[in-house]
Each structure stands twice: as C-alpha cells, then as structure tokens.
Chains A and B, each alone.
Chain A
Amino acid sequence: QVTLKESGPALVKPTQTLTLTCTFSGFSLTTNGMRVSWIRQPPGKALEWLARIDWDDDKFYNTSLNTRLTISKDTSKNQVVLTMTNMDPVDTATYYCARIPTGTYFDFWGQGALVTVSS
C-alpha cells in the first residue's frame, strides 16, 4: 500500500534553513506521471501548497516562496527532500508530503511533521 512519512527537526531557529525528508513506499517516482508535493498548514489555518517534483525531475514552486524553497529526490531511497531557507516564526506549521497521481490532486498524504520556528 502507499505510505508517506515526513521527518525533520521539530524546532528551528529564525534565519536557519529547514530540511525535511519525505520517505515513501508503495509507488516509485521513476514511474511516468508520478509526482510528489509538499504542503504546509499553520496551526488553525488553511493548507498552502509549497512545491512539487515530477518523475522526470521537473520542479515547481509556490511563486510567493520560490526564492526560499528547493525540492529534490533520491529515487534509490524513495525520498523527496524539501529545504526552506531563512525560516521565520510565521513558517511554524505542520508540513505534509503528498502523492500526486495525475498532476491535479493529492491522493495519499503523510501524517505531517510539526515544525516550530522559535529562538
């Protein structure tokens, strides 16, 4: 079955760089048409899409955040990595990774990783 799981630090300091890893199973990012995204959700607020990486290594970013985001994949480890630079307290959120089977919606999600930005 398809599973995804996020991992990374629970606490980062302002101005630091956040690195999150999504480890998945049940599908391959070498399969034509497969994609994985990162989405975040501040406490009590709505969802916000961050980035997407495709099977052919195409990458797409939220235009409001793209100068701070980098997404990459390691297909041998079934992992997708997101880095976000210059973290700020407003970036405190639960960060999810999710699979995109056809390009337009997210069918499987990880459990989420809460990241708090505080000095």
Chain B
Amino acid sequence: EIVLTQSPGTLSLSPGERATLSCRASQSVSSSYLAWYQQKPGQAPRLLIYGASSRATGIPDRFSGSGSGTDFTLTISRLEPEDFAVYYCQQYGSSPRTYTFGQGTKVEIK
C-alpha cells in the first residue's frame, strides 16, 4: 500500500507570503490519481486540486498543484487570511482499489 508523507507538518507564514507544501509517495503515483484538499476547523475537507494540477470548480488561481512520480507540490502563491487551514494530499490506487491520505500540513499564521 502506498504511503503519502506530507512536509512540513506545520508551516508558519504571514498573509501575502507564498506557501509550498510537499507530498511524497512511497511508490510512484499516476498524476491522474493525486488530489489535494483544504480543511478548516469543524468543517469537511474541500477539494482544491485533482489530477495533480487541475483546480476544482471555484478554487482561486492562487492555488496550484504540480509534480509527478513520487513528488507532488501544492503552492499557494499569496496567502489570504482564509487560506490558513490544514491541507491533505490523497492518492487513488487501482489495484487494489484504495484511497490513501497524507497526514496533513497545517498552514498557520506567523
């Protein structure tokens, strides 16, 4: 089973700064099968990115995803106050059919 490791665990930044979040897979993952979510306290996760780099409907273009193979990145170009949250990467495995999440990166206000 593929394990996703996110780093750093916590990212302390100020509004307006750039955030770079990493998701590393224990085995190669198809780019089509890598997604990112944002979760705020007391809320359900929200889909940000699917297929490693495609923004979900309504997601601002300051969010971008990139990467391939075992290394994927979520970048927030300029942090807005509403972007401080926990971010999860997720991969889909086709054999066996399974879904795995990373442990999350918390983006907090510095």
Contacts and interface: CB of A to CB of B under 8 A. Distances in A.
Indicate the member of B99, B101, B103 with the most A CB atoms within 10 Å: B99
Nearest to B50: A105
B101 A46 contact: yes
- Residue of A47, A62, A111 with most chain B CB atoms under a 10 A cut-off: A47
Contacts of B43: 111
Contacts, number: 56
A52 B96 CA distance: 12
A33 interface: no
Given A105-B92, A106-B45, A109-B46, A46 B99 contact: no
B92 A46 contact: no
B98 A47 contact: no
A63 B93 CA distance: 12
A62 to B, nearest CB: 7
Contact of A60 (B32, B35, B44, B97): B97
A56 interface: no
Given A105-B92, A112-B44, A48 B32 contact: no
B11 interface: no
B56 interface: yes
B98 A106 contact: no
22 contacts: A46-B101, A46-B103, A47-B45, A47-B88, A47-B90, A49-B98, A49-B100, A60-B97, A62-B98, A63-B1, A63-B98, A104-B32, A104-B33, A104-B92, A105-B50, A106-B35, A107-B47, A109-B44, A109-B45, A109-B46, A111-B43, A112-B44
Interface of B: 1, 32-33, 35, 37, 43-47, 50-51, 56, 88, 90, 92, 96-104
Given A46-B103, A62-B98, 4 more contacts: A49-B100, A60-B98, A105-B50, A108-B47
